[in-house]
């Protein structure tokens, strides 16, 4: 894999945390886990992925047929996200590494961080970090 040709930073995308979208997310996730009805559930930033077009996203260079989800982390430096708030979301690759799997194959890791900033002030509202793993083919 030649990483220098991959897109390590995506385009910033503006979106609004809409009451309707938050309500749909709550129903789909079967959650009431939010500080109150005017804030998004803690895992709501996962929905940001659906607002990003392929051109807005980073390019890890991984083969999606071999892709595993290695983890997810949500960080809110200033509390939960309020409905009606306008944000800018931008992805970037913050770390890459490789290691051998317990069954012999090479695994490639990419940690992708999405920064959510207030569209007016630029203040960071949240960070979403996900770890993607590309597994090797069958071990020999």
In this structure, what DSSP letter does residue 5 have? G
**Is pLDDT of 3 > 80?**
no
**Going from the N-terminus, what domains does the chain have, and what CATH number goes with each?**
11-135 (3.10.129.10)
The residue-averaged pLDDT of 57-65 equals 92
Residue 36 confidence class, pLDDT cut points 50, 70, 90: low
Q: How far, in Å, CA of 76 to CA of 92, rounded?
A: 18
Q: Is the dihedral of CA 89, 83, 50, 78 positive or negative?
A: positive
**Is pLDDT of 5 > 80?**
no
Strand partners, 51: none
Q: How far is CA 45 from CA 12, 78, 83, 124, in A?
A: 15, 15, 12, 13
Please say whether the beta carbons of 14 and 51 come within 8 A.
no
Structure tokens at 102: 């317990």
* Exposure letters 50-71 (e unless 16+ CB within 10 A, then b): eebeeeebbbbbbeeeeeeeee
Give the model's pLDDT for residue 140. Answer: 46
The distance in angstroms from the start CA to the end CA of the chain is 20
The residue-averaged pLDDT of 88-92 equals 95
Q: Which residue has the tokens 């030649």?
A: 2
Q: What is the residue-averaged pLDDT of the chain? A: 87
Strand partners, 114: 91, 128
Nearest partner of 13 among 36, 39, 40, 45, judged by Cα: 45
């Amino acid at each position: 894999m030649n990483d220098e040709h991959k897109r390590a930073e995506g385009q910033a995308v503006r979106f609004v945390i809409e009451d309707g979208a938050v309500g749909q997310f709550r129903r789909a996730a079967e959650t009431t886990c939010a500080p109150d009805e005017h804030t998004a559930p803690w895992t709501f930033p996962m929905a940001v992925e659906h607002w990003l077009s392929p051109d807005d996203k980073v390019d890890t260079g991984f083969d999606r047929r071999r892709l595993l989800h290695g983890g997810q982390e949500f960080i809110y430096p200033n509390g939960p996200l309020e409905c009606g708030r306008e944000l800018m979301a931008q992805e970037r690759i913050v770390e890459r590494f490789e290691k051998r799997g317990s069954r012999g194959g090479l695994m490639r890791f990419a940690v992708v961080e999405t920064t959510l900033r207030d569209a007016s002030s630029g203040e960071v509202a949240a960070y979403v970090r996900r770890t993607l793993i590309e597994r090797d083919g069958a071990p020999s």
